[in-house]
């Protein structure tokens, strides 16, 4: 039994528009920053897709990637999907989805915390080796 894959240009175009609407709504919910050609945007529905140059196998691969991005629906899945579209010349805009300012700040503080925790562990080991058995008498 063979699985039906939506591979016509019209079906793929429809699926892509649906996925971009999903990206927009998820980005608004999670406060991601969407940039198109380095300008901040509130939605991505205006993006047009160029699918006529794709071969049938290329359309099948695109359909699989659309299904994967729909299933995962997260920052990483959307970012890799958009870069794939750009590399295959399906979109002409340079689209980026970036983390929110709050999330970037949290990640920065996490890195600082881990670094200071590692430094504290190094200092503790120096202290323990220097102290040794000095106080055990």
Percent of the chain with pLDDT over 70: 95
CA distance 53 to 79: 23
Tokens of 125: 């080991």
pLDDT band at 45 (very low <50, low <70, confident <90, very high): confident
- Residue-wise pLDDT tens digits, 82-114: 999 999 999 999 999 999 999 999 999 999 999
Buried-exposed string 21-42: b where 16+ CB fall within 10 A, e elsewhere:
eebbeebeeeebebebeeeebe
Helix, strand, or coil here: 95? strand
Helix, strand, or coil here: 48? coil
CA distance 48 to 98: 21
CA distance 37 to 48: 14
Please, are residues 68 and 49 in contact by the beta-carbon 8 Å criterion? Answer: no
| Residue 2 clears pLDDT 60, i.e. is over it | no
pLDDT attached to residue 4: 66
pLDDT attached to residue 117: 96
């Amino acid at each position: 039994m063979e699985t039906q894959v939506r591979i016509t240009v019209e079906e793929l175009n429809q699926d892509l528009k649906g996925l971009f609407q999903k990206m927009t709504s998820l980005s608004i919910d999670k406060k991601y920053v969407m940039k198109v050609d380095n300008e901040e945007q509130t939605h991505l529905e205006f993006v047009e897709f160029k699918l006529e140059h794709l071969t049938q196998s290329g359309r099948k691969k695109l359909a699989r990637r659309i299904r994967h991005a729909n299933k995962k629906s997260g920052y990483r899945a959307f970012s890799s999907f958009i870069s794939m579209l750009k590399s295959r010349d399906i979109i002409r805009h340079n689209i980026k989805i970036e983390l929110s300012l709050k999330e970037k700040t949290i990640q920065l503080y996490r890195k600082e915390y881990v670094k200071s925790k590692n430094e504290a562990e190094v200092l503790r080991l120096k202290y323990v080796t220097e102290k040794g058995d000095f106080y055990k008498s």
